Structure 1
Amino acid sequence: MAVLATSCLVTACGDSSDSGPANLSPAARAAALGENLTVRVEVDTNDAAKSGTHCADLGADWASCARGKLILENAGSRSLAAGGWTLYVHSIRRILMVDHPAFAWKHITGDLYALTPRAGAFTLGAGERLEVPFVGEYWYQRYSDLLPRAYVVADGNATPAILKHNDTDDETQYVDRIPPGADDAAAFAATPAQVQRARAEAALPSVQQTAARAVPAVLRSASGQGAAQVGGLDLSMSGLASSHIAALTSRAAALGLNGAAVRVTGQIGGGALPADIARSGGYRLTIAQGGVNIDAFDAAGLFYGVQTLLSLTPAGGGSVPAMTIEDAPRYTHRGMHVDVARNFRQPATLRRLIDQMGAYKLNRLHLHLSDDEGWRIEIPGLPELTEIGAKRCHDLTETRCLLPQLASGPDNRSGGGYLSRADYVALVRYAADRFVEIIPEIDMPGHARAAVVSMEARYRRLSAQGNTSGASAYRLLDPADTSNTTTVQFYDRRSFINPCSAGAQRFASKVIGEIAAMHRQAGAPLSVWHFGGDEAKNILLGSGFQPLDGTDPGKGHVNLALQDKPWGRSPLCAALIRSGKVASVDELPSMFAREVSQIVNANGIGTMAAWQDGIKHASGPQDFATSSVMVTMWDTIFWGAADTVQTLGSQGYKTVLALPDYLYFDFPYAFDQHERGYYWGSHATDSFKTFSLAPDNLPQNAEIMADRDGKPFEVVSTGPAPHIEGIQGQAWAEVMRTDQQFEYMAYPRLLALAERAWHRAAWERPYVQGERYKLGDTDKVDKAALAADWAGFMSVVQNRELPKLTRAGAVVRTKLGG
C-alpha cells in the first residue's frame, strides 16, 4: 500500500486558464508543485466487494480489495494547473484502478506508480481540494501500509521534487482515515495464558528474586552468602584474546561501570564441569564477596560468563548476590536476521546490535545484503553493484540508479547506502570479538533485481567500449527471454537471475570469493554462506487467481495465457531443459542452488544455507556439495510449521526456525493501527509472544496462542521429536525506513528471542508423538509456570536491561506487552 497519487474530481476543478506553474520552466514548475501540493489518503472500506466494487474483475488476489480516495490539495497561494507534470507515488499494495477521467495512470515497477493529469483537465486554486477514487488489492489496516514521499517530475526529465508536505515518516500527516478493524485484541487477552500472565504481572517477583535472575536465564544456580560489589571489572582471564577482553571492557564502560573494580579471574578447563555444560559456551560462574571466578569449557564460555555477571549488575554498578551458576547454550544457532537491502542500516547501528547480541548471548548475525531494492556490499571489480544498485533516483532507464522504492524519494531520503569492503571487514572483526558470526546472504536467483539491473549497466558500459566478451561475463539475464512475470514485490522478469546463463555462475563465484576473502582478512573465516533461494515465482499464477472466464466469485480474474513462470520463455533455459539436465523451469532454483553449493565448497565454506523454498526440489543435503546444508524455515505454526520441521529434519537438514508468527520483528507489537509493521503472519507479536515460544515442541504453541486472526487451531505431533539447529529473529526492512524505526522494532523483542535461544524453560513440555494441542480445548501446558517465568523476565528487563539499552543509545519500545 502506499501513498497514491493525486487527482481531482472534475467538479472541484478550477479554471484551466488560470495562470500558474504551467507558465514556469519545468524545473520551476516541479519545485512549485513540490512546495505547494499535498497528497493525503482516506480509505473508505477494506471490503470493497460488499459495496459494489468488482474486485474479481479487477484481478484482485482472492477477489479482495479496498476502496479509498486520494485527496489533492493546493496549500500555496498560486493556482496549480494540470498538464506537463507527473506525480509518482508508492504503494505496497497493488493499485488495481485509479478511477478518475482527469488522470492517466500506470504501474512503473515494484511499488512505484505514475499518475499524469491530462493537460487542461483542471486548475487547482489556492486552498482547493481534489479527490480521486482508487482501488487497492487486499486492505489497509495499519497506518504504515500507506507510504510517504510522493514526488513530481515536470516535462519528463526535469529535476524531481518531493512533495514537501509528504516528506515525513509521521503517517498521521498524510493519512486522514483508515477504517477501524475488528477488536481482536480482546479475544487474545482472554486466552488462559494471557489471564495467567495478567495475574503474574500484578504480583511481580521480589527484589531478591529479580536481583538473582540473568537475561537470558541460566541453566541452574545456587545462592551463596553476601554479595559482590561491582563498580567495574578487573579481568584476569587466560584463554581470552585481548580483543575479547577489550570488547568486555567496552561493554562494562557502556553500562557505566567506572567505579571500584571487582576482580574477575577465569580459565578454560579449570575445575571439573558437569557433563551437561561441558560443551562450547559452557561455564561455571562463582560470585563471592571477595571476587568472581569463571571455569569455562572454551573461550566462548569465558566470554558468556562475564556477560552473565554484567547482566546481573545494574546499570551504573551495584550489588550482585553471591551465587554459583552453571550454564551452557541451548542451541548452536542463536541468530538475528537483518535486512539491509530494502532499507540500509548504518554501520554504527549494526555495531550497536552486535553489542547487544553479544551481551545476550546471540551468536549469529544473518545479513540480508541484496534484494530487488538494493545491493549493499562493495565487490571489487564490479563497481556498478554499489554505484547503481545501492542508490535510488528518478531515472526511468535505470542506467544511473535504481528507481525509488519504499518511500525513499528520488534522492535517497531513505534506502540508499552500502558497506564498503573496509566497512564489512571491520564489521566482521567487530562481531568476532563478541563471539558473533556474520552469515552473509546474497539472495539468488529471485529477489535479485538490484544485481540484474547493475550488471545490465555494466554490460552497456563495456559494450560501448567494444569489449563484447567482458560485457557478457557477468550478465545475469537471457536477453531473448520474454517471460511475463509479476513477483511478490511486483517486479518483472529482471527480478530473477537467469540460472541457465553462464554469467550467473561466474557472478556467484566472483561474489562468494570476494566476500570469503573479506572474512579471511578479518580473521574470521566464513563458515556459513546463505544462498537465499526464496520466492522465485509469478504471484499471478497463485491459487487466488482464475482465468478471465472463470466462475469462482472468490478468485481474481487474470488472463492466465499471458502469464509465465520465471524463465518460462527463456531460450537458454529451454535448451537446458531439452538437454535433460533439469526437468522443468520449476526445478531451476534448486539446480542453481546445487551449482552454487559447489562454489561455496570450493571456497572452503562448510555450510550452505537457504530459505526453505530454495531447496524444495532437492531430495536432501546429499544433493549439495557442502558438508552440511542449513535451512531457514519460515512457515507459521498455524500453516504447518510443525510438519515442515519434521520433513526437513528427516531429510537431514540443519533446521533454523524463523517462524513469522513469533520471530518476525517487522510485524506490529500490538493491535493498534499506529503500530508499524506487516501483519500477514501475526497482528500482534509482543515480547510475551516471542517469550512463550516452545521451539522444540511446536505443537505446544497451539495451546497458548491463536492464529493471526485470533482463531484457535489444532496441531498434533506426528513422527519422532525433530532436532533443530536453533532459532533466529527476522527484521525485514520494507516498513523500517530509518535506523530508529529498526531499533524500536528490535528492542526489547531481541531479549525475548535471546531468552528462548539460550534457555529451555521448565514450562516447555517434552515432545511426545501423537499429542494434540488446541487453544481453549486442551490443557497440557503449565500456564501458571509460563506466566510466572514471564513476570520474572519482565521485571529484570524493565528494571535492569531497558536502562542499559537506553544508555547504549538504542531506541527502545519501553512497553514489553502489547
Structure 2
Amino acid sequence: MKKNYLSPLALLISATLFSTIVSAEQSATQVVDALANMDVKINVIDNQAGEHGIDCAALGADWAACNRVDITLTNGSDAIESDDWALYFHSIRQILKQDNPQFKITHVTGDLHKITPTSQFKGIKANEKVVLPITGEYWQVNYSDFMPRWYATSGDALPRNLKSTDTQDPTQFVAPFELKNWKRVGADNNVLMTAENRYKKNTALNALSEQQMRGQILPTPLDITLQQGDVDLSKGINLHLEGLTKEELAVIDEHLQQVKLKQNNQGFLVEGKIIPNQFAIDNQISGAYELVITPQKALIVGYDRVGLFYGMESLLSAVSESEKPTIATMTVKDKPRMEYRGVFLDVGRNFHSKQVVMRLIDQMSRYKLNKFHFHLTDDEGWRIEIPDLPELTEVGSQRCHDLDEQTCLLPQLGSGAENNNMGSGYFTRDDYIDILRYAKARHIEVIPEIDMPAHARAAVVSMEARYNKLKAAGDEKGAEQYRLVDPSDTSVTTSVQFYDKRSYLNPCLESSKNFVNKVVSEVMQMHEEAGVPLKTWHFGGDEAKNIRLGAGFQDKNGAIELGKGIIDKQIEDKPWAKSKACQLLIKNGDVSDFDHLSSHFAKQVSEGLQQEGVTTMQAWQDGLKDAVNAKDFATKNVRVNFWDTLYWGGFDSANDWANKGYQVVISNPDYVYFDMPYEVNPSESGYYWATRASDEQKVFSFAPDNLPQNAETSVDRDGNQFTAKSDKPWPGIYGLSGQLWSEAVRTDDQVEYMLFPRILPLAERAWHKAEWENDYQAGREYVGGKTQHVSQQNLANDWDRFATIVGVKELPRLDRAGVAYRIPVPGAKIENGVLLANLSYPGLVIEYSLGESDHWQTYSAQHPPKVNGSVKVRAKNALGTRTSRVEIVTQK
C-alpha cells in the first residue's frame, strides 16, 4: 500500500500555517471581546444645528434639518491595535458627516450603520476615550430615538453585542438631555412636561363623586336612564343568556373575574335573548342592545348575538369597584356609532408574542372594539408561516448578522447581532388559527395585512434566498416562480426607512402575482380552518416612493432654495423606473407611468381577491391614490385607512376619499397613532413626526367625524394653533382605528404601555358621539384660539367624567387582566417648603422619596409633607405592583 509522507520541512511549514491561522482567529476574537466591553455614551449637542452654523442643506439633509451628536467610546483594559474590525449600530437618523479622521461611518441598510477604522487609525489604548462628532439628519429629542444593541465584528469571530448598549433602557447609554435639546426647532412652542407643568395641567381635573359614578358605563351608551336604588351583587350573578355560544360564555366568565364577580346560582339573575324584529332603536345595526336592570333581575335584549354580548359587557362595566360590588338600576338603549372600531398592531418591525396579542384582543372586546388590523409583514420582518414558502419564516422572520442575507435579515431597530429578542419571531399556522378563534369568540374580525408593493423587503430577501437555493439545485423554474425582483432593475431608490430597491416587490412580474395569490390562498385556508372566513384583506400600499425625490430635497444642478437639502437628483429613480418589465407595461399602455404602478397592482390584487370571495380590500390611502375612485377595484367594498395629518391638510383631503366611494377609516397619526409619545418629555418613548404628544385626553377630545373641529381643541406638531375648513361634501366616516407601529417598541410590556390606556378613549369616540362634537358643516371655519364653535366647558365636564371612570374602575380591571398599562407620572411642585402633587386620574397612589434615598412614602393631599431640597415622586397602581417612572422636583 502506497503511503503519503510529509517531509520535516513540510511538517514545519504546516504547523506554522496552522499556528498563524489559530493566532489570527484568536486575535479576531480578542478584538471582538475588547470592543464588546467598550462603554458607549451618546450626547445630544444641538437639535437645531442648522440654526447654529452648520450648513445642513449642503450636507443633503431633508428640509435642511440636522442635529449634532457626540459619540464617546471608552475602551476597557485591552488595547485595540488591529484595524480589522467594525462596530455596527442602529440609527434611525441618516449620518451626514463624521469628523474624526481615524474612523469612517458607512450606511449599510435601513437603520444599520457601521464604524470602521481609516488609514489614519492609530489604535485605541487601554481606557482611552474616543469621540466621534456626528452630524445627523432631522432631530433626536427623545431617548427612544437611540436604538440599543451595538455589536462588534472582526474577521471570522462571532459578532458580539456591546454590553453597555445591550439593554432596553436607552438612558443607560444616552447622556441626560440638556433643557435646550428637547425642542425640534427653535420655534417649537410645545409645552415641556415637567413635574410643575404637569401639576398645573392636572389641576383642571374635577373628579366625580361616588354618587355621580352610579351607572357609568364605558364606552358611553347612546341613551341611559338611571333609577333609584342599587342592586347588591356580593353573591355573584346567575346568567341565563340564550343564544350565546359556549366560547362566548367562557369569555364573559373571564370578564366577570376582572370586575371581581363570579357566577353563582344564588346570585343576581341576568337574562338575555336576541329579538331582532322587536327592537326599539332606530336604524338597527349589529351590536345594538337594550339593558334593563331592576332590583329583581336584569334583562338584555340583543339585536343579534353581538348585541347580546355587548349588553352583557355594559352590565359588567356598570358594576361598582366598591368593597361590596353593586350596580345601579337603569335602562340602557345602545348601538355603535361606527361600523368599524379598530386597533392596528404592527408585529413586522418588531415581533410581539401571541400572549400579548390575545390580551389586546380580549380587552378590545370589553370596550366593544371589533376590528383587529394585524400588520404581519414589513421591511424588517415576515411574521406568519406559509408552509409552501418556508423561506419567509426561515429567513424573513429572523434578524442576525449575515451580510449575504441568505439565513436571516440584517439587524434593525436595536435587535443586535443575534436573533434572541423580539427582532425575530413569527406566528405558526396553529398560532394564527388560535388567534382567529380567540377573536371570533369576542366578536372581533381579524384583518391580515401583507404590506406591498413597498415595505416588502422581508418578502423580497426571503424569496431571493429561495431563488438562490433552488437555482443551485438546478430547479430554474421553481426558482423563478415566486421571485419578487426584476434582475434588470438597476433603479437607485431610497425608501422612507432608508432601504434600497429591495424594499419594493416588483408589481410588473408574473411571479409577484403568483406570490400574492399563494399567500392569499394560504391565509384563506387558515381562516377556513378556524371557522372564520376571510372577509377583509389589507393590501398595505403605503409609501411606494423614493424619499430622495420628495419636496424636502432640491437638485444641486438647479436653482438653489433656502430650507431644502441639496442632492444630485439626477441619479435618483422612482421605484421600478429601470425595470424592463415595468417599462414594457408602460410602453404597451397598460399603465400610464411609474407613479401609477402601485394602484395598478392594487387593482390586480383586488381582482384576485374578488375571485376568491373576499368582499373587502383595505389599504393605506396613498396606495390607491392614482385610481379614479373605488369602482376601479373589483371587490364589493374598498376601504382606506386615512392617515394624512390634519394640520397638513388632512381636514380637507379626507373628504376626497369619502366622495370617491371609499369606506374611510380615520387613522390620523397626529391623534390615533399610539407609537407617538404620551407627552412632550425626552423620557417618553415614541416617534414624533406627526405630533409631539398624544395623551388620553387628546384622543378623547378628537372629533373623528368633523375633522375641521379639531383645530379648536388641539395644536400642530410645533405646538401652534391652526385653522381648518373644508368646503366639500362629507358623506361621513366608516370607522376609527388606533395604530401602534413598532419601530421603537421592542417588548410586550412596551406594547401595552403604548396602547393602554389610550385604547379606552379610542373606544369611546368610536362608539359614542359626545354632545360637544359638532356636525360637519361645509364651509365652517375653525380657527384655533379664535373661533368658539366647540363648547369647551362641555368637553371639560365630559373628560372629568371619563377620567374618573378610567381611574376608579378601568385601571384596576386592567391590572386584574395582567395588562401593563402606562401609569401616569405625577405632577408636583414645592411651594413654601410643602410638596404638592397630583395625578391625571383618581384612584392611583402617589409616593415620594426625599433626596437621594429610595425610601418611598405615601403622599396625602390632605396632609402634604414639608420637604427640603429635591424630592422624587412617582405613582403606583391600586394593587401596588407597578409604578410610573420617577420625576425629580426641586424648590424654585
Aligned-residue identity in percent = 46
1:22/1:83 contact within 8 Å kept: no
* Cα gap change, 1:356 to 1:26, in 2 (>3 Å): farther
Partner of 2:544: 536
2:692 is the alignment partner of 1:683 = yes
1:736 to 735, 745, 766: 745
1:78 corresponds to 2:78: yes
In the alignment, does 2:239 pair up with 1:235?
yes
1:389 aligns with 2:396: yes
- Distance apart, 1:22 and its partner CA: 9.8
Is 1:245 paired with 2:253? Answer: no
Task: Provide the residue aligned with 1:5 in structure 2.
Answer: none
Relative to 1, partners in 2 of residues 1:557 and 1:376: Cα closer, same or farther, differing over 3 Å?
same
Give the alignment of 1:85-124 within 5 angstroms: 85-118=85-118, 121-124=121-124
Give how far 1:177 is off.
4.1
Cα offset, 1:195, TM superposition: 13
Residue type of the partner of 1:135?
A: T
CA deviations 1:264-321 (Å, max 9, x no partner) are 2100018943233632101111122222110110000000011111112245871111
Q: CA deviation at 1:113?
A: 0.5
Contact 1:678-1:735 within 8 A present in 2 as well: yes
Alignment-derived partner of residue 210 in structure 1: 213
Aligned 1:580-599 pairs, distance under 5 A: 580-599=589-608
Separation in structure 2 between the aligned mates of residue 170 and residue 82 of structure 1, nearest angstrom: 31
Q: Distance in 1 between the 2:468 and 2:192 partners?
A: 58
**AA paired with 1:595?**
Q
Moved more, 211-220 or 782-791: 211-220
1:313 corresponds, among 319, 339, 342, to 319
Q: Equivalences for 1:269-280 in 2 at 5 Å?
A: 269=275, 272-276=278-282, 278-280=284-286
Give the residue type in structure 1 aligned to 2:394: E
RMSD over aligned Cα atoms: 2.1
Shift of residue 780, structure 1, vs aligned partner: 1.1
5 Å-filtered alignment, 1:453-468, equals 453-468=461-476
Which among 335, 338, 354 is matched to residue 342 of structure 2?
335
Q: What is aligned with 1:521?
A: 529
1:266 match: secondary structure: strand
Partner of 1:40: 41
Instruction: Call closer, same or farther: CA 1:196–1:364 in 2, change over 3 Å.
Output: farther
Report Cα offsets for 1:239-284 as digits up to 9, x if no partner. Answer: 2111111111122234432375432210001894323363210111
- Residues 277 and 327, structure 1, Cα contact 8 Å, conserved in 2: no
Specify the code of the residue in structure 1 equivalent to 2:130. L
Q: Does residue 69 of the first structure (1) align with residue 36 of the second (2)? A: no
- Matches of 1:702 and 1:120 in 2, distance apart? 56
Q: Which residue of 2 aligns with 1:363?
A: 370
**Cα pair 2:259 2:319 within 8 Å, conserved:** no
- Alpha carbons of structure 1 residues 339 and 187: separation in structure 2 relative to 1, 3 Å: closer
* Cα drift, residue 587 of structure 1: 0.5
Specify the alignment match of 1:507 in structure 2: 515
CA distance 1:197–1:239, shift in 2 (3 Å):
farther
Give the deviation of 1:721 after TM superposition.
3.1
CA–CA separation in structure 2 for the residues paired with 1:234 and 1:497: 56
Moved more, 697-706 or 170-179: 170-179
Deviation at 1:126, TM superposition (A): 3.5
Deviation at 1:200, TM superposition (A): 5.3
Query: SS in structure 2 opposite 1:335?
Result: strand
Alpha-carbon contact 2:215-2:319 (below 8 Å) kept: no
Kindly state the Cα deviation for residue 120 of structure 1 after the two structures are TM-superposed: 7.7
Q: CA deviation at 1:185?
A: 4.4
**Counterpart position of 1:4:** none
| Residue deviations 1:162-190 (CA, integer Å, cap 9, x gap) | 0011101211111114343347444999x
Residue in 2 that maps onto 1:348: 355
Aligned partner of residue 207 in structure 1, secondary structure: coil
1:634-713 equivalences under 5 Å are: 634-713=643-722
2: CA distance between counterparts of 1:204 and 1:570?
62
The corresponding residue for 1:633 is: 642
- Alignment partner, residue 573 of structure 2: 564
For 2:269, the equivalent position in structure 1 comes to 263
Give 1:26 shift.
4.9
Partners of 1:317 and 1:414 in 2: how far apart?
43
- Partners of 2:32 and 2:154 within 8 A in 1: no
Residues 522-569 of structure 1 show CA distances to partners (whole Å, capped at 9, x for unaligned) of 111111100000000000011111112342232111111110000000
2:887 is matched with: none
* Aligned match of 1:10: none
| Matched letter for residue 484 of structure 2 | L
**Residue identity in the other structure for 1:690:** V
Contact 1:702 1:774 in 2 (8 A): yes
1:110 positional shift: 0.3
1:612 maps to 2:613: no
1:413-462 Cα deviation digits (max 9, x unpaired): 23111110000011011001001110000001000000000000111111
Deviation of residue 380 (structure 1)?
A: 1.8
SS at 1:520's partner residue?
A: helix
Give the structure-2-normalised TM-score: 0.86
Maintained 8 Å contact 1:35/1:164: yes
Equivalent runs, 1:271-310 vs 2, <5 Å: 272-276=278-282, 278-310=284-316
Say whether the 8 Å CA contact 2:216–2:318 is kept in structure 1.
yes
Q: How far, CA to CA, are the matches of 2:27 and 2:575 in structure 1?
A: 40
Structure 2: give runs of 5+ residues left out of the alignment: 1-21, 825-838, 842-892
Q: 1:188 to 1:636 in 2, by over 3 A?
A: farther
Q: What secondary structure sits across from 1:688 in the alignment? A: helix
Partner of 2:223: 220
Residue correspondence of structure 1 range 131-170 to structure 2 within 5 A? 131-155=131-155, 157-170=156-169
What amino acid maps onto 2:106 in structure 1?
K
8 A contact 1:257–1:317 mirrored in 2:
no
Q: Which consecutive residues of structure 1, in runs of 5 or more, have no partner in the other structure?
A: 1-20
Q: Which moved more, 1:669-678 or 1:408-417?
A: 408-417
Please report how far the alpha carbon of residue 25 of structure 1 lies from its aligned counterpart in structure 2 after TM superposition: 1.3
CA distance in 1, matches of 2:734, 2:228: 38
TM-aligned CA distance change 1:392 to 1:289, over 3 Å: same
**TM superposition shift of 1:47:** 1.8
Report the count of equivalent residues: 791
Contact 2:31/2:82, CA 8 A, preserved across alignment: no
> Whole-Å Cα distance in 2 between the matches of residues 198 and 785 of structure 1?
18
**Bigger RCO of structures 1 and 2 (CA < 8 A, at least 6 apart):** 1
Quick one: distance in 2 between partners of 1:196 and 1:112?
Answer: 42
Return the alpha-carbon distance in structure 2 between the equivalents of residues 351 and 30 of structure 1.
Answer: 44
**Partners in 2 of 1:317 and 1:523 — Cα distance?**
41
Distance across 1 between alignment mates of 2:191 and 2:121: 49
Deviations 1:145-175 (A, max 9, x none): 11111000011x3211000111012111111
Q: Does the 8 A contact of 1:188 with 1:710 survive in 2? A: no
* Structure 2 counterpart SS, 1:667: coil
2:849 is aligned to none
2:439 is aligned with 1:438: no
Letter of the structure 1 residue corresponding to residue 89 of structure 2: V
2: distance between equivalents of 1:119 and 1:254? 64
Range with bigger deviation, 266-275 or 558-567? 266-275
**Correspondence for 1:15:** none
Partner of 2:871: none
- Deviations 1:386-430 (CA, angstroms, capped at 9, x unpaired): 000001010000000000000011113231111100000110110
Distance verdict in 2 for CA 1:505–1:259, change over 3 Å: closer
The DSSP-based 3-state class of the residue aligned with 2:212 is helix
What secondary structure is seen at the aligned counterpart in 2 of 1:25?
Answer: helix
Is 1:403 the equivalent of 2:410?
yes
1:793 CA drift (Å): 0.5
